[in-house]
Amino acid sequence: MEIRKPNDSEYKKVLSLTPQALFDGTLGEAKLSDEKVKQLIEPLLQKGCYYLIATEGNNLMGWILIGTSKDLFNEKIYGFIYELFVLEEFRGNGISKHLMETGIKHLKQDGYSEVRLSVYAGNQAIKLYEKLGFKNRTISMSMNI
């Protein structure tokens, strides 16, 4: 398995699969059009965020989108993991862990001393994040009215 930045055709494939990634990551709450995904992702890429992809041969197996963010309260800049996704047929092989470890390494090399991410309650990736050392920082709550 190789983890690296995507070429143009691989980047287009990632973008075409991102609606499914966001649907899965939000546990079915976000059913986004390709246009909406583009509106969400392009500003991140313009501010310096980037993808790392996991491949084997010509097979795209998954990706991570990493970059920077800023704490709204104290304006501290930190590394942020915006997206992590492994295609269903490749799940259960440790690819998410490798993508996370590589992404964190890149963020450290980019000069960040802290990495954050957001995840939906109930997402099974939480177990991986906790194993890697992530801890709850904030909790977002909602109530139907």
Q: What is the CATH number of the domain that holds 65?
A: 3.40.630.30
d(CA 59, CA 17): 14
Q: How far is CA 53 from CA 70, 103, 107, in A?
A: 25, 10, 15
d(C-alpha 126, C-alpha 52), whole Å: 20
Average pLDDT value for residue range 111-133: 94
Q: Is residue 142 part of a domain?
A: no
Average pLDDT over residues 18-27: 84
Work out the average pLDDT over 86-112: 96
**What domain range includes position 96?**
2-131
Q: How far apart are CA 12 and CA 74, in angstroms?
A: 36
The answer to the question of residue 140 being in a domain is no
145 domain-assigned: no
pLDDT of 80: 97
Instruction: Assess whether pLDDT exceeds 80 at residue 29.
Output: no
Q: pLDDT band at residue 83, thresholds of 50, 70 and 90?
A: very high
Domain-embedded: residue 109: yes
- What is residue 103's predicted lDDT score, i.e. its pLDDT? 98
pLDDT of residue 69: 95
pLDDT at 34 over 90: no
User: For the chain, what is the domain count?
Assistant: 1
Position 136 in a domain: no
Alpha helices by DSSP H, listed for 48-124, are 95-109
Three-state secondary structure call for residue 58: coil
pTM of the model: 0.91
Residue 38: inside a domain: yes
Residue 138 lies in a domain: no
Query: Does residue 15 sit within a domain?
Result: yes
